[in-house]
Structure 1
Amino acid sequence: MKKFLLEIHQVPDNILDEYLSYWQEYTVPKKTVLSEKDKTESYLYFVQEGIQKAYFLNDEKQHILFFSYAPSFSGLMESFLTQNPSKYHLETITSSRFLRISYKNHEKQIRKHRELETLFRIFIEKILVGLMERHHQLLAHNIETRFKTFAKRSPHLFQLVAQKDIASYLRIDATNFSKLYNSVQI
C-alpha cells in the first residue's frame, strides 16, 4: 500500500508510516455486503485481494457503477468523504482481503498532515478525471467501442465477474453483450 500511495504523491516516510499504522486488516467471503444504501460509509478500503462491485437497485435490478480490485481503494467515496448516507451498495464478488481505516482516523491524520491532504486531493482529482472519462464513454461511444475499451483495460474480469454484471457496467443489454462476447476477440 505504501508504494501505491507514493505513486500518487511523495510523502515523508515518518508521516506515511504513522498514517498506515491506523489501517487494519479485514477479510470477508464473497457476496458480503460491505456498505448499504441509506447507511453512512464508515471505512475507506484498500483492496489487497478480491473483486468488489458498487451498484444501485432500480426495480430490483442491479445497475453496476464500478468494480474495484487490487491494488486500489474501494468504498463508497461520496458517503465516506461527506459522512452522509449513500445511495449505493458495495458488495464483494469474490472473497476479499483489505486494509481499512475508519473515517475518524483518516480525518484526524489528514487534518494533522498537510502532505496527506495533498495526496488525497490528487487522488480525488484522478477519480474525477476517471468519472468524466466514464461519462464520455457511456454517452459518446457505441456498445462495441465500450466493450472493446473494457476488454483492453480489464480483460481478467471476464473470467472473474458474471457477464450480467459487466453488461450492466457497460450499459449493454444481455443479448447484445453475449453477441459481442462471442464475436470480439478479447
Structure 2
Amino acid sequence: MKNYLSSFYNIREEILEEYISYWSEYSIPKKSIITECYRTEHFLYFVKDGIQKSYYLNEGKQHVMFFAYAPSFSGIVESFLTQTPSKYCLEAITDSTFLRIPYTKHAQLIKENRELETLFRIIAEQFLIGIIERHHQLMAFNAETRFKKFAKRSPHMLNMVSQKDIASYLRIDPTNFSKLINTVKI
C-alpha cells in the first residue's frame, strides 16, 4: 500500500506510516456483498487480493460499473466521501482481502495533514481522469474496440470474471460478447 500511495505523490515517511497504521485487514468470501445498495459506505478499501464489482440494479438486472483488484482502492467512493446512501452495490467476485480505514479516521487525518490532503486530491484527479476515459470509450468506440481495449488493459480478468459481468461492464449484449470472445484475436 505504501508503494501504491507513493506512486501518486511523495509525502513524508512518518506521515504515511501513521496514516497506514490506522488501516486494518479485512477478508470476505466470494459472492459476498461488501456494501449493500442504499447503505452508506463507512470504509475505504485497499485491495490486497481478489476482485470486486460495483453495480446498480435496474428491474432486478445488474449493470456493472467497475471492477477493482490489487493494487487499487475499492468501495463505493461517492458514498464514502459524502457519507450518504449509495446507489450501487459492491460485491466480492472472488475471495478478497483488503486493508480498510473508517471514514471518521480517514477524514480526521486528511483534515489534520496537508500532505495527505494533497495525496488524496491527486488520487481523486486520477480517478476522475479514469472515469472520463471510460465514458469516452463507451460513447466513442464500437463493441469490438471496447472489448479489445479491455482485453489489453486487463487480460487476467477474462479468465477470472464471468462473461456476463464483463459484457455488462463494456455495455455489450451478452450474445454479441460471446461472439466477440470467440472471434476477436487478443
TM-score range, shorter chain: over 0.9
Query: Could you list the runs of 5+ residues in structure 1 that have no partner in the other structure?
Result: none
Deviation of residue 37 (structure 1)?
1.2
* 2:150 partner SS: helix
CA drift at 1:36: 1.1
Question: For the aligned residues, what is the CA RMSD?
Answer: 0.5
1:132 and 2:132 aligned: yes
| Distance in 1 between residues matched to 2:65 and 2:9, nearest whole Å | 27
Give 2:135's aligned amino acid.
H
Q: What letter corresponds to residue 114 of structure 2 in structure 1?
A: R
Amino acid at match of 2:15: I
Q: Distance in 1 between matches of 2:173 and 2:122?
A: 35
Q: TM-score, structure 1 length as denominator?
A: 0.99
CA distance in 1: counterparts of 2:185 and 2:68, whole angstroms: 24
Deviations 1:27-71 (A, max 9, x none): 110011010111110000000000000000011110000000000
Partner of 1:32: 32
Structure 1 runs of 4+ off > 6 angstroms?
A: none
Partner of 1:55: 55
Partners of 2:146 and 2:14 in 1: CA distance? 43
Paired residue for 1:95? 95
Aligned-partner Cα distance in 2 for 1:52–1:126? 20
SS class of match (1:8): coil
The answer as to 2:4 corresponding to 1:7 is no
Match of 2:149 in 1: 149
What is aligned with 1:176?
A: 176
SS in 2 for 1:44: strand
Give the aligned residue type for 2:5.
L
SS of the residue corresponding to residue 128 of structure 1 reads helix
Alignment match, 1:42: 42
Secondary structure of 1:25's aligned partner? strand
1:97-136 mapped onto 2 (5 Å cutoff): 97-136=97-136
- Alignment partners' CA distance in 1, 2:42 and 2:73: 14
Distance in 1 between residues matched to 2:125 and 2:67, nearest whole Å = 19
How many residues of Structure 1 are paired with residues of Structure 2 in the alignment?
A: 186
1:19 corresponds to: 19
Distance 2:25 2:175 in 1: 40
Distance 1:178 1:115 in 2: 47
Question: Which segments of 5 or more consecutive residues in structure 2 lack a partner in the other structure?
Answer: none
What CA distance in whole angstroms lies between the structure 2 residues aligned with 1:39 and 1:176? 34
Q: Distance in 1 between matches of 2:158 and 2:44?
A: 26
Tell me which amino acid in the other structure corresponds to 2:20.
Answer: L
1:103-153 CA distance string (max 9 Å, x none): 001001101110000000000000111111111100110000000000000
Percent identity over the alignment is 62
Displacement, 1:185? 1.6
